Amino acid sequence: MAVDPSMPILVVDDYQTMVRIIRSLLKQLGFENVDDASDGNAAIAKMRDKKYGLVISDWNMEPMTGYELLRQVRNEDAIAETPFIMVTAESKTENVIAAKKAGVNNYIVKPFNAQTLKSKIEAACAA
């Protein structure tokens, strides 16, 4: 399935450098409609205001982790179906399993490149 490059994407990370890196990779892939949030609470607020085609969230954030954000998204009817990709520096099996059980569509371990991001987006949006 072809992914619509005009779909709005929300990048959630408390580390602005990582937000810039992901934005740059998305731009290389043709995605221009990118918003960002610095924490889970801000992300939820933005998702209630705007329909996103995809959320890309870091796992390790304060005060709400990406995992907690994912669980909250999946429990809110209006946004529950939004494709969600978790980004983390840790590849612990228990984290991957917990994220899958919570309804994550895909999982990326840092560092990653544009091609990895592209394949993960295609898989997440095809689900």
What are the pLDDT digits (tens) for 58-79?
999 999 999 999 999 999 999 9
Name the DSSP class of 117: H
> Does residue 37 sit within a domain?
yes
pLDDT tens for 6-58 read 999 999 999 999 999 999 999 999 999 999 999 999 999 999 999 999 999 99
Report the distance separating Cα 5 and Cα 107, nearest Å: 20
Question: What does pTM read for this prediction?
Answer: 0.96
Domain that holds residue 15: 9-126
> Does residue 74 sit within a domain?
yes
> Does residue 102 sit within a domain?
yes
> Does residue 77 sit within a domain?
yes
Which pLDDT score, from 0 to 100, does residue 127 have? 64
Non-local CB neighbours of 90 within 8 Å, separated by 6+ positions: 59, 60, 109
Q: Count how many domains the chain has.
A: 1
Non-local CB neighbours of 47 within 8 Å, separated by 6+ positions: 10, 55, 73, 79, 82
CATH number at residue 65: 3.40.50.2300
> Does residue 4 sit within a domain?
no
> Does residue 95 sit within a domain?
yes
CA neighbor of 58 nearest in space, from 24, 17, 115, 30: 17
